[in-house]
């Protein structure tokens, strides 16, 4: 079955919100060739995911992938799946650290 990027991103955000104690703001952009673009934001307390038609401001992290590659990365950041993660080294480390919550939720 095909991976739906919005559902995947929603699951990641829910796992982060439930499993982490990180209360810093977040602004991430996800780009999928066929499925569109999605913005993830947090004000430190509340998370949101929305479909977007163009990049909304200056994201801390911009991810370009197909849904299957993103899922492979989320399961194992060392994967060879084609995925591009752009941002400062600190922002990319935080992205990987926060998305670890998703790995924990599917491995439990």
Mean pLDDT computed over 73-83: 90
> Around 87, how many Cα atoms within 13 Å sit in the side-chain half-sphere?
21
Q: pLDDT (tens digit, 9 = 90+) per residue, 12-29?
A: 999 999 988 888 999 999
Q: pLDDT (tens digit, 9 = 90+) per residue, 27-61?
A: 999 999 888 899 999 999 999 999 886 656 789 99
Q: What is the side-by-side strand order in the sheet with 47-52? A: 47-52, 36-42, 26-32, 61-65, 83-87
Q: Which residues pair with 40 in a beta bridge?
A: 28, 49
Give residue 81's pLDDT.
85
């Amino acid at each position: 079955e095909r991976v739906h990027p919005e559902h995947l991103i929603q699951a990641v955000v829910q796992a982060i919100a439930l499993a982490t104690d990180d209360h810093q703001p977040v602004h991430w952009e996800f780009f999928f060739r066929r499925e569109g673009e999605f913005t993830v934001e947090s004000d430190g307390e509340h998370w949101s995911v929305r479909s977007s038609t163009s990049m909304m401001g200056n994201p801390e992290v911009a991810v370009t992938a197909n849904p299957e590659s993103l899922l492979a990365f989320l399961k194992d950041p060392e994967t060879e799946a084609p995925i591009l993660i752009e941002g400062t080294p600190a922002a990319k480390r935080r992205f990987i650290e926060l998305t670890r919550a998703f790995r924990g939720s599917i491995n439990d």
